[in-house]
Chain A
Amino acid sequence: MTRPRFDELIHAPTRLAIVSLLAASEVADFKFIRDSVGLSDSALSKQLSTLEEAGYVQIRKGFVGKRPRTSAKLTTVGRAAFEQHVAALQEIVSRSGASVLPP
């Protein structure tokens, strides 16, 4: 049972989108995140750096052939924070009497 804990860092809409994508992934390519969330390279870099500084995301830089490739993955700490945040959101919704189950 995950203990609910609202996380302001994750709750910001753009970061919530990024962390949600990463929560369903082992690892995600920078371009995939950028295109999925609809951010510029610099805006995504800034958000990923914020999450990395919090210890939520690990950024990997490498090469595929001669082409540079940046990818990101959620750390154990980040995954736990995300799951606690989801539990907190569910608690808020269920306290209001609404269903938290998808339609």
Chain B
Amino acid sequence: MSEQVHPDEAARALDQIRDRQEQVINVSVVPAWYWWLVGGLIVALAAAVESREPVTIGVGVTVFVLGILGGTGWVVRGAVRVQPRNELLGGRGVTMILGFVALVLGITLAVAFSLAAAGVSYPATLANLLGAILLIVGGPMLTRTLRRVMLNNRAGASR
């Protein structure tokens, strides 16, 4: 049968395979607004805690928890419909995610402790502001890179 398949038909079939797999990968892509949401919420939480006002802290924690749950729930709703294969992300993708989290946490904590040691007011809020900028700038870059990694790992992507 394979002898009867014209190369053009085989090439079209490979294109279709790649396109269909891209559909699955696109479901798992984190939208840019999510990074803005997380960045805004961590700054708001830090500011609320550093205000030392019980009511403000209560409101801040509530907004943070509801915001994270709602936003994350919206983003992962695609996983209910389809769950991309773990192999698409691979070890490289997982390392990138862990590295990004470690980088943002490391820089934010280092800046917070440095500002606190220097006696600057609202050190956690200022440090989280920097963390939020890192998320807003680096998050979409990470998302694009992970999407590229998954596209390269799909079937038919290479010889």
Contact = CB atoms under 8 A, between A and B. Distances in A.
A20 B25 CA distance: 12
Contacts of A13: 16
B16 A24 contact: no
Interface stretch (B5-13, B32-40, B93-101, B117-125): B5-13
Q: Main SS of the interface on chain B?
A: helix
Q: Main SS of the interface on chain A?
A: helix
A4 B27 CA distance: 30
Interface stretch (B52-60, B82-90, B132-140): B82-90
User: Chain B contact residues (Cβ within 8 angstroms of A): what range?
Assistant: 20 to 34
A96 B7 contact: yes
B20 A17 contact: yes
Nearest to B152: A102
User: Chain A contact residues (Cβ within 8 angstroms of B): what range?
Assistant: 35 or more
Contacts of A94: 159
Given A6-B2, A90-B159, A92-B2, A26 B85 contact: yes
A93 B11 contact: yes
A8 interface: yes
